[in-house]
Chain A
Amino acid sequence: EIVMTQSPATLSVSPGERATLSCRASQSVGTNLAWYQQKPGQAPRLLIYGASTRGTGIPARFSGSGSGTEFTLTISSLQSEDFAVYYCQQYNNWLLITFGPGTKLDIK
């Protein structure tokens, strides 16, 4: 099983500032890594796939980078609607897909 870890667990940032979220895989997943955003009471939404490709309709302030075992999601200038929980997911091992535990992005 590929274990995904995310840091920090909670990140407090002011609107307009940059947020940087990290995700680490226990073994290489290449670029088969996605980021999802989830707001309370809502389903997850695909933000980034292939480690760096934005999903349909995702604003340019969201960007992803990394490969292998280390990945980063950057939100360049936080808007009020960006405060949510963010999950990374590896889909390199199709027979056992795993998610990270999530990072909660809070308003500072």
Chain B
Amino acid sequence: EVQLVESGGGLVQPGGSLRLSCAVSGFTFDNYWMSWVRQAPGKGLEWVANIKQDGSEKYFVDSVKGRFTISRDNAKNSLYLQMNNLRAEDTAVYYCARVRGGYCSGDSCHHPFDYWGQGTLVTVSS
């Protein structure tokens, strides 16, 4: 059974940092691109970042570029999101998601997200 379990959320002050983790099981982790998607309270879904199987390609939504970093440890079957210089507008539930499909690069990738974790809440407030 495919499982994705996020952790690391919590309350942080503006300007602070937080590291989210996503532990996966039930599939061969290093065969898949992975993503982070967030959802502000009562709002819609916003894609945050993608990372390729070997970590060699990473893409981010403009609003987090330079502040967030995505990484993975294939030996530990884990995905991470390092969030620095957090702002109130980063408050959201953060989901990790598996990208359906196999190997691709850059503009040649066209895959949806087929499995999602239950999310972890990040609250940025003083």
A and B: interacting chains: yes
CA A94 to CA B60, docked complex, whole Å = 10
CB distance from B4 to the nearest CB of A (A): 9
**A99:B45 contact, CB within 8 angstroms:** yes
Contact with B along A24-58 (1 / 0, CB 8 A): 00000010101010100011111001000001100
If the complex has contacts A87-B44, A99-B45, A99-B47, are A46 and B100 also in contact, measured as CB distance less than 8 A?
Answer: yes
Contacts A43-B118, A96-B59 supplied; 17 other A-B pairs, CB < 8 Å: A34-B112, A34-B113, A36-B113, A43-B119, A46-B113, A46-B114, A46-B115, A49-B100, A87-B45, A89-B112, A91-B111, A91-B112, A93-B107, A94-B50, A94-B110, A97-B35, A99-B47
Q: Is A98 located at the chain interface by the 8 A CB criterion? A: yes
Of chain A, the residue at the smallest CB distance from B62 is A96
Contact with A along B9-43 (1 / 0, CB 8 A): 00000000000000000000000000101000000
With most chain B CB atoms within 10 A of its CB, the pick from A30, A36, A44, A96 is: A44
Of chain B, the residue at the smallest CB distance from A98 is B47
**B112:A100 contact, CB within 8 angstroms:** no
**A99:B46 contact, CB within 8 angstroms:** yes
**A45:B44 contact, CB within 8 angstroms:** no
CA A36 to CA B95, docked complex, whole Å = 14
Q: Is A92 located at the chain interface by the 8 A CB criterion? A: yes
**B45:A95 contact, CB within 8 angstroms:** no
**B116:A43 contact, CB within 8 angstroms:** yes
> Which residues of chain A are within 8 angstroms of B104 by Cβ–Cβ distance?
94
Of chain B, the residue at the smallest CB distance from A35 is B112
With most chain B CB atoms within 10 A of its CB, the pick from A49, A98, A100 is: A49
> Which residues of chain A are within 8 angstroms of B119 by Cβ–Cβ distance?
43
If the complex has contacts A43-B117, A89-B112, are A94 and B44 also in contact, measured as CB distance less than 8 A?
Answer: no
> Which residues of chain A are within 8 angstroms of B110 by Cβ–Cβ distance?
30, 32, 91-92, 94
Q: Is B88 located at the chain interface by the 8 A CB criterion? A: no
Q: Is A66 located at the chain interface by the 8 A CB criterion? A: no
10 pairs, A vs B, C-beta closer than 8 Å: A36-B45, A42-B118, A44-B95, A46-B100, A56-B114, A87-B44, A91-B112, A93-B107, A94-B108, A99-B47
> Which residues of chain A are within 8 angstroms of B44 by Cβ–Cβ distance?
87, 99-102
